[in-house]
């Protein structure tokens, strides 16, 4: 084909090539299974548009599901273009052009649009983004201040989730409640939601839902913005479309169709796989994904059917799992594989959760030794975030490098949250939530009572807490307190809301009901705050172009001013975990994290380029970036600073967070009924299907090795004596009822999925080599595992009444035989 540029040959198969080189102006849909190259095709398409059709990089908008995916895709595109020296030369101008290529998540794209055009709707461009924990704190504050509700009566976290569902029209916002008092609850939540929206506006803050909602609003209300966007982005590409929600579709529609005629003006290119839709519970609209085909009349639809990722046994297992879905949207879809040979996936029984964690890390270590697989290429996945803790502990014990994706370990850390809270407050004087977080951290002698007093007072005056401090400073300006607090003699003129209050002359110092000591502490803090704000006003560069001021410097200065690093020492004393880390280690680790954050800021400063003139502007951009990457919901992979220290690590993540990724080795932990499928979904067929798809997503992440473990009721071994021994060991452990293996796996034929006992398998591995000589580390891990399992067996059988009664009789009826489970939950 003479239309196909040389550089594409050998990179793509025929089907993929057809997609990539389809007419640039045609709307395109690609429906295809996991590992078939959807993301690859999308990436090549961008490069193709730029290289073969002279599309300017800034005319392209690509939307991915996570920030990590966005970054990877961007570097792939740049690599493709640079490697082949396509279209653009290697000079500076082309580098800059490439930098304007926009690849991001829906959230970051919407934030970008709102910053640019939000003012047309009255939205100030310096809004801050509240992440989920910020929102939750604000909700807690509202519940306490305005509704006098204890957090024991209603959980702020649950309220936040419901509010989010209400805002995004997610299905069944109140479904998790069976309470007869549900109406009462609903009424309350709606009232809280109203107050929340008001307070968010006052704080000039948007949450993640708002980013989408407001952006769609903007496009609907302001045709001129729509036109402007359409001039800006001529080509719109969307990965993982099956998990887009209604607002995301609206965004794409509004950004790509003519304001008057509704005709398509920017060709869209969407790829997705209905079988991998796993965010329905949060409002992703699978039906919309299916309908899109009818809504794009002239679109070309493509299917890809060759899986390049996984070996045949893994694909066959995946296929079997997904075929159990009775209401599958594309039941005829059959996957072919590029790789034929491979290891049979295994489901592995572990006697308890500790052993499960040990099995995962020991097996991983074995694969490193035996097959030379790198740690980066291995992942442990689980249904619920809470599971990460145990596995993390095993990694620490065994000295295995790991990183947690989506667990927000980095941005959720105390020291990072504190520092960022300072930064957010610095970026936005109206912030309430972050004010609360930093006002007494490190301690300034301000107890809850005095902080609440200030917050109440500020609330009454319709001022944010920081503005209230400003008011205090003006009221106290001539007094001895101001001098003692070290407030500068000549202050800045008051801001508008404060000036108004001062003019009316109705407030005085005494109204705040704060004593002198508290006043001094507040004013001191306010003085520091003003000092930092002043630093931020500086220009980044001298007229000659050299850097004169950096945000990193301001942050570091700020931490010194408040004595934060010292403070961490005290904190670490109380939180050191004797079993794993000493207080000293914790303190050191915290300081390292602060250092890593400062480095990340420096790195960020290097990349912002001409977008920001002052440090204030740098700060704004940085906060936006952080808010979006630290989103504490599962699908947002945490951006641990991607420095060298983070390479060569085993990845731990939830199944939800594993979307789009691939690893040579995947271990899925916690495959018990009740965990996967989650017990909350058992009665709802739709959610059961989604749980099945979740397992399907996990399974299809694996390239070569797949282990699925469960900690619960063992399977029958077929040997009566052995069954009984197993049963005894299990039955009397800790009194927790044992859960059977996930029903999704129970009926899978053994030709597709081998059944193994962790203990036996580890024993076999232990015997397979002279590990003591070859790898003392693995040797140690293997014997620790076997010792641990033996000990568990010994204690449980000594406590077993079964043994006491002579142990005679038939095998207890607790074993499951595969046959009993066939036919359950849509099984065939
Ligand atoms: P998922 O649905 O899980 O997101 P996907 O359809 O996006 O999967 P990709 O991640 O694009 O699949 O591709 C899976 C793997 O197969 C990647 O490592 C990709 O580079 C590789 N691959 C895809 N197509 C080809 C090809 N034609 N030649 C070589 N490798 C390929
Ligand atoms: Mg993909």
Q: Residue 305: nearest ligand to its CA? A: 1
Is residue 145 one of the residues assigned to a domain?
yes
- Same domain, residue pair 427 and 538: yes
Query: Could you tell me if 327 and 763 are in contact, meaning their C-beta atoms sit under 8 angstroms apart?
Result: no
Model pLDDT, residue 271: 95
- Same domain, residue pair 182 and 262: no
Is residue 42 one of the residues assigned to a domain?
yes
Beta bridge partners of 346: 707, 754
Q: Give the least confident one: 375-384, 510-519, 664-673.
A: 510-519
Whether pLDDT at 220 is above 50 = yes
* DSSP conformation class of 436: H
Question: What domain range is 691 assigned to?
Answer: 344-407+639-809
- Same domain, residue pair 71 and 189: no
Q: Residue 37: nearest ligand to its CA? A: 1
Model pLDDT, residue 827: 28
| Tens-place pLDDT, residues 249-288 | 999 999 999 888 888 889 999 999 989 988 877 777 777 7
User: Which among 373, 323, 356 has a CA at the least distance from the CA of 708?
Assistant: 356
**Banded model confidence at residue 633, pLDDT cuts 50, 70, 90:** very low
- Same domain, residue pair 799 and 762: yes
Give CA 727 to chain center in angstroms. 39
Model pLDDT, residue 828: 28
Q: Residue 698: nearest ligand to its CA? A: 1
C-alpha 702/C-alpha 321 separation (Å) is 15
- Residue 614, domain CATH: 1.10.486.10
38 is in an annotated binding site: yes
Tell me which residue has its CA closest to atom 3 in ligand 1.
Answer: 34
Tell me which residue has its CA closest to atom 14 in ligand 1.
Answer: 35
Query: Could you tell me if 431 and 466 are in contact, meaning their C-beta atoms sit under 8 angstroms apart?
Result: yes
Mean pLDDT (the chain, rounded): 83
**Which of 175, 203, 231 delimits the end of a domain?**
203
Best substitution site from 9, 16, 19, 40 to test ligand 1's pocket, by max atoms within 8 Å of Cβ? Answer: 40
818 is in an annotated binding site: no
Is residue 390 one of the residues assigned to a domain?
yes
Q: Residue 659: nearest ligand to its CA? A: 1
Run of H or E residues at 191: helix 182-202
- Residue 707, domain CATH: 3.40.50.300
Please state, in angstroms and as integers, the Cα–Cα distance from residue 426 to each residue in 125, 393, 821, following that order. Answer: 16, 36, 59
Whether pLDDT at 824 is above 70 = no
Is residue 826 one of the residues assigned to a domain?
no
- Same domain, residue pair 192 and 228: no
Model pLDDT, residue 816: 40
Which residues are within 8 A (CB) of 530 and not within 5 positions of it... i.e. 6 or more apart?
488, 492
Task: Measure 376 CA to ligand 1 centroid, in angstroms.
Answer: 18
Task: Measure 38 CA to ligand 2 centroid, in angstroms.
Answer: 5
Task: Measure 69 CA to ligand 2 centroid, in angstroms.
Answer: 9
Please state, in angstroms and as integers, the Cα–Cα distance from residue 814 to each residue in 309, 592, 670, 806, 808, following that order. Answer: 38, 50, 19, 19, 16
Query: Could you tell me if 753 and 347 are in contact, meaning their C-beta atoms sit under 8 angstroms apart?
Result: yes
Query: Could you tell me if 5 and 51 are in contact, meaning their C-beta atoms sit under 8 angstroms apart?
Result: yes
Whether pLDDT at 574 is above 90 = no
Task: Measure 565 CA to ligand 1 centroid, in angstroms.
Answer: 46
Tell me which residue has its CA closest to atom 9 in ligand 1.
Answer: 37
Model pLDDT, residue 176: 53
C-alpha 606/C-alpha 623 separation (Å) is 15
- Same domain, residue pair 697 and 590: no
62 is in an annotated binding site: no
* 527 dihedral zone (left: phi>0; alpha: psi -120 to 50; beta): alpha
Is residue 330 one of the residues assigned to a domain?
no
Top-confidence residue, 150 or 215: 215
Task: Measure 278 CA to ligand 2 centroid, in angstroms.
Answer: 14
Run of H or E residues at 479: none
Query: Could you tell me if 588 and 598 are in contact, meaning their C-beta atoms sit under 8 angstroms apart?
Result: no
Backbone φ and ψ of 554, nearest 5° = -60, -45
Please state, in angstroms and as integers, the Cα–Cα distance from residue 73 to each residue in 43, 78, 304, 621, following that order. Answer: 6, 9, 20, 21
- Same domain, residue pair 447 and 577: yes
Task: Measure 660 CA to ligand 2 centroid, in angstroms.
Answer: 4
**Which of 629, 649, 675 delimits the end of a domain?**
629
Whether pLDDT at 809 is above 60 = no
Three-state SS at 257 = strand
Q: The whole model's pTM is what?
A: 0.78
| Tens-place pLDDT, residues 557-566 | 999 999 999 9
**Banded model confidence at residue 149, pLDDT cuts 50, 70, 90:** confident
C-alpha 171/C-alpha 183 separation (Å) is 17
- Same domain, residue pair 593 and 625: yes
- Same domain, residue pair 170 and 252: no
CA dihedral angle for residue 589, residue 595, residue 601, residue 604, rounded to 10 degrees? -80
Whether pLDDT at 576 is above 60 = no
Is residue 32 one of the residues assigned to a domain?
yes
- Same domain, residue pair 250 and 394: no
Model pLDDT, residue 486: 76
- Same domain, residue pair 222 and 191: no
Model pLDDT, residue 742: 92
447 is in an annotated binding site: no
Q: What is the ipTM of this complex?
A: 0.99
Ligand 1 surroundings by CB, under 6 angstroms: 12-13, 16, 32, 34-40, 273, 276, 308-309, 660, 662, 700
| Averaged pLDDT for residues 209-235 | 94
| Tens-place pLDDT, residues 415-456 | 888 999 999 999 999 988 899 999 998 999 888 888 989 998
Whether pLDDT at 174 is above 50 = yes
**Banded model confidence at residue 590, pLDDT cuts 50, 70, 90:** confident
544 is in an annotated binding site: no
* DSSP conformation class of 610: G
Scan for tokens 């969407």, then name that residue: 270
57 is in an annotated binding site: no
Quote the number of domains for the chain.
Answer: 4
Index of the ligand 1 atom closest to the CA of residue 697: 3
Model pLDDT, residue 655: 92
Is residue 289 one of the residues assigned to a domain?
yes
Task: Measure 439 CA to ligand 1 centroid, in angstroms.
Answer: 49
- Same domain, residue pair 139 and 45: no
**Which of 600, 629, 658 delimits the end of a domain?**
629
Is residue 779 one of the residues assigned to a domain?
yes
- Could you tell me the end-to-end alpha-carbon distance of the chain, in angstroms, rounded to an integer? 45
């Amino acid at each position: 084909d003479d239309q196909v540029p040389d550089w594409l040959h050998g990179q793509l198969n025929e089907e993929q090539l057809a997609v990539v080189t389809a007419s640039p102006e045609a709307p395109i849909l690609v429906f295809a299974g996991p590992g078939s190259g959807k993301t690859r095709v999308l990436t090549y398409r961008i490069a193709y548009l730029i290289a073969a059709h002279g599309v300017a990089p800034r005319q392209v908008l690509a939307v991915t599901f996570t920030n990590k995916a966005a970054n990877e895709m961007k570097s792939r595109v740049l690599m493709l273009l640079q490697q082949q020296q396509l279209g653009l030369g290697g000079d500076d101008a082309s580098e800059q052009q490439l930098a304007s290529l926009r690849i991001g998540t829906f959230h970051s794209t919407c934030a970008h649009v709102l910053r640019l055009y939000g003012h047309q709707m009255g939205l100030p461009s310096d809004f801050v983004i509240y992440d989920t924990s910020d929102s939750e704190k604000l909700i807690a504050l509202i519940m306490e201040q305005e509704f006098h509700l204890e957090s024991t009566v209603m959980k702020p976290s649950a309220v936040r989730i419901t509010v989010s569902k209400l805002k995004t029209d997610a299905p069944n916002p109140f479904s998790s409640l069976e309470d007869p008092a549900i109406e009462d609850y609903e009424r309350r939540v709606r009232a809280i939601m109203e107050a929340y929206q008001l307070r968010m506006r006052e704080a000039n803050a948007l949450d993640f839902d708002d980013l989408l909602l407001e952006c769609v609003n903007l496009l609907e209300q302001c045709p001129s913005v729509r036109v402007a966007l359409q001039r800006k982005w001529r080509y719109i590409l969307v990965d993982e479309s099956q998990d887009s929600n209604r607002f995301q579709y609206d965004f794409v529609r509004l950004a790509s169709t003519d304001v008057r005629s509704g005709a398509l003006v920017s060709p869209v290119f969407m790829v997705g796989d209905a079988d991998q839709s796993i965010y329905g519970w949060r409002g992703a609209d699978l039906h919309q994904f299916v309908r899109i085909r009818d809504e794009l009349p002239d679109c070309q639809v493509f299917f890809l059917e060759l899986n390049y990722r996984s070996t045949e046994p893994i694909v066959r297992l995946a296929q079997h799992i997904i075929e159990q879905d009775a209401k599958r949207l594309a039941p005829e879809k059959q996957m072919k594989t590029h790789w034929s040979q491979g290891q049979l996936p295994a489901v592995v029984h572990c006697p308890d959760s500790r052993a499960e964690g040990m099995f995962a890390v020991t097996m991983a270590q074995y694969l490193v030794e035996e097959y030379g697989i790198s740690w980066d290429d291995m992942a442990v996945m689980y249904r619920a975030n809470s599971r990460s803790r145990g596995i993390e502990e095993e990694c620490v014990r065994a000295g295995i490098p790991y990183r947690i994706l989506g667990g927000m370990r980095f941005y959720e850390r105390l020291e990072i949250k504190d520092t960022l809270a300072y930064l957010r407050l610095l970026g936005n004087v109206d912030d309430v939530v972050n004010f609360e977080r930093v006002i007494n951290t490190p301690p300034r002698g301000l107890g809850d009572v005095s902080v609440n007093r200030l917050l109440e007072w500020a609330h009454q005056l319709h001022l944010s807490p920081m503005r209230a401090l400003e008011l205090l400073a003006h009221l106290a300006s001539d007094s001895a307190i101001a001098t003692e607090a070290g407030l500068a003699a000549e202050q800045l003129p008051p801001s508008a809301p404060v000036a108004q209050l001062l003019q009316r002359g109705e407030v005085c110092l005494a109204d705040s009901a704060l004593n002198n000591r508290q006043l001094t502490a507040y004013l001191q803090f306010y003085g520091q705050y003003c000092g930092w704000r002043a630093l931020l006003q500086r220009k980044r560069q001298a007229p000659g172009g050299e850097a004169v001021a950096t945000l990193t410097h301001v942050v570091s200065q700020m931490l010194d001013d408040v004595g934060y690093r010292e403070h961490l020492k005290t904190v670490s004393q109380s939180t050191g975990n004797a079993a794993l880390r000493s207080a000293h280690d914790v303190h050191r680790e915290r300081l390292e994290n602060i250092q890593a954050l400062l480095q990340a800021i420096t790195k960020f400063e290097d990349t912002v380029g001409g977008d920001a003139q002052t440090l204030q502007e740098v700060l704004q951009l940085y906060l936006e970036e952080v808010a979006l990457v630290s989103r504490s919901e599962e699908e947002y992979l945490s951006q641990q600073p991607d420095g060298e220290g983070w390479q060569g690590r085993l990845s731990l993540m939830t199944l939800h967070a594993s979307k789009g990724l691939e690893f040579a080795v995947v271990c899925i932990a916690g495959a018990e009924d009740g965990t996967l499928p989650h017990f909350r979904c058992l009665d709802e067929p739709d959610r059961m299907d989604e749980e099945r798809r979740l397992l399907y997503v996990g399974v299809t992440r694996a390239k070569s090795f797949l282990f699925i473990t469960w900690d619960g009721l063992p399977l029958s071994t077929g040997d009566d004596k052995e069954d009984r021994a197993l049963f005894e060991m299990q039955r009397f452990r800790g009194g927790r009822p044992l859960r059977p293996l996930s029903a999704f796996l129970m009926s899978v034929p053994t030709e597709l999925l081998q059944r193994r006992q962790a203990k036996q398998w580890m024993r076999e591995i232990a015997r397979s080599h002279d590990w003591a000589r070859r790898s003392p580390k693995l040797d140690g891990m293997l014997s620790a595992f076997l010792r641990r399992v033996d000990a568990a067996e010994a204690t449980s059988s000594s406590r077993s009444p079964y043994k006491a009664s002579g142990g005679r009789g038939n095998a207890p009826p607790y074993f499951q035989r595969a046959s009993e489970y066939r036919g359950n939950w849509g099984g065939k």
